[in-house]
Amino acid sequence: MTAEPVKPTVNAGKLWAGGAATAAVAALVAVAGILLGRGIFDIDVLAPKGQGTWGDASTGWYALGAAIAALAATGLVHVLILTTPRPMRFFGWVVALATVSAMLAPFVTDAGRGEQFYTAGLNMIIGIAIGSLIAGVARSATFLVRAGTRPPSPRPYPQQYR
């Protein structure tokens, strides 16, 4: 007797809603980190001192980049769940290596060491936020379905959330 094949199924709406929420969190982490660096620690994160605490357009672009990275991670995990064995292990590796790359990027610029280390730390925090939030969302949006059966219907919200 052989077991029926099982395939992963993704609740795409739930996954992408979580991805959008993660994009918002990543963008806010970037903005908060830049404000903290410039305003409190007086570190020139992404802009020269003459730009002030809010800096120039690079603050918005940095936050947008963090949001896009979160959406890219959502797309990656969606594809991995549907196509690879052990998708979360691959996802973890990709996010870890992308985060390390983002942490090393400031060190190829001519910025001062303080700015390089601060930006690397900010990139690490953004990477950890994206990786952990998307991994959690992916786990809650994925379930296994036996061949020939229907996926379970979404559970209604508990009474306290209605």
If phi > 0 it is left, if psi is from -120 to 50 it is alpha, else beta; for residue 85 that is beta
Mean pLDDT score, 105-134: 93
0.85 surpassed by pTM: no
Cβ–Cβ < 8 Å for 33, 16:
no
Length of the chain measured in residues: 162
Coil, helix or strand for 35?
A: helix
Structure tokens at 131: 């990786």
At 141, is the pLDDT very low, low, confident or very high (cuts 50, 70, 90)? very high
Exposed e or buried b per residue across 60-72, where buried means at least 16 C-beta atoms within 10 angstroms of its C-beta: eebbebbbebbbe
**What are the pLDDT digits (tens) for 35-45?**
999 889 888 77
Can you tell me the mean pLDDT for 18-37? 96
Per-residue confidence band for 147, with pLDDT thresholds at 50, 70 and 90 = low
Q: Give exposure, 125-149, as e/b (b: 16+ Cβ within 10 Å).
A: ebbebbbebbbebbeebbeeeeeee
